[in-house]
Amino acid sequence: MSEVIRANTVLPSHRTSFRVITADGHSLIGEIARPIGEYMGAILCLHPLPTAGGMMDSHIYKKAANRLPELAGIAVVRFNTRGTTSEAGTSEGEFDNGKNEGLDVEAVLKYCFDELHLTNVWVVGWSFGTDLALQHAKDSRHKGLILLSPPLRTTTPDQLMYWNTDPRPIVALIPEFDEFLNPAQAIERFAPLRTIELLPVLEAKHLWVGEPSVARVLNEIVARVAPLRAPLPTEY
């Protein structure tokens, strides 16, 4: 008999811990959850602000790792940026407000392609992670950016305009009640970036709390990475 997928549902996958060394010599901890069945693609997760509790286990990413390998054939790569702690441990280095974290993003993207040999990789940023994606996720081998609750806290208009020269898709999910950047503000702030797709999400908040918000986020990810597997089932 099938069961309803809930917040604590953990579905089968191959899970492997890893460490990556950055160009400036810091060891970062991470984990990949791979599908046991057919592989459809992968996401690299860039987590929310570590000084506000963000980490590789932030709930959207943990639920993605617990569900997407089995339900959508999507491998989920999560890691802690420098100085960030989760249950798996602490990455070396110190928080640098998104500057030297660029070396972290570059190192893990390189690891995804050169060591894990992943294909059809999309970069998913959430909050602080969206600034990292927009500023640093420029490896030509990934397929595009999926931005969750982008605050545009440190990303400049010039940094946004870079993506006008890059043909890869960018989609941003903007919660209706986001206290940092709501849908009306997002239209104005993202104006320099002509190619972005802005998706306002009714009744959602910055942290995407609640199963309806989680389901919306995961379904939007699957729609880009593995569209043949969308929409996700609500039972397993």
Q: What is the mean pLDDT of residues 48-63?
A: 98
Can you tell me the mean pLDDT for 112-127?
A: 98
Among 163, 169, 180, CA closest to 52 = 180
CATH of segment(s) 14-229: 3.40.50.1820
- Which tokens in the block code for residue 192? 């320099």
Closest CA to 126 of 26, 63, 208: 208
The structural domains of the chain, with segments of one domain joined by +, span: 14-229
pLDDT tens-digit map of 155-201 = 999 999 999 999 999 999 999 999 999 999 999 999 999 999 999 99
C-alpha distances in Å from residue 203, one per residue of 3, 39, 54, 59, 217: 26, 33, 22, 18, 13
CA nearest neighbour of 121 among 19, 39, 212, 12: 39
- pTM here? 0.98
Please, are residues 64 and 221 in contact by the beta-carbon 8 Å criterion?
A: yes
pLDDT over 80 at 151, yes or no: yes
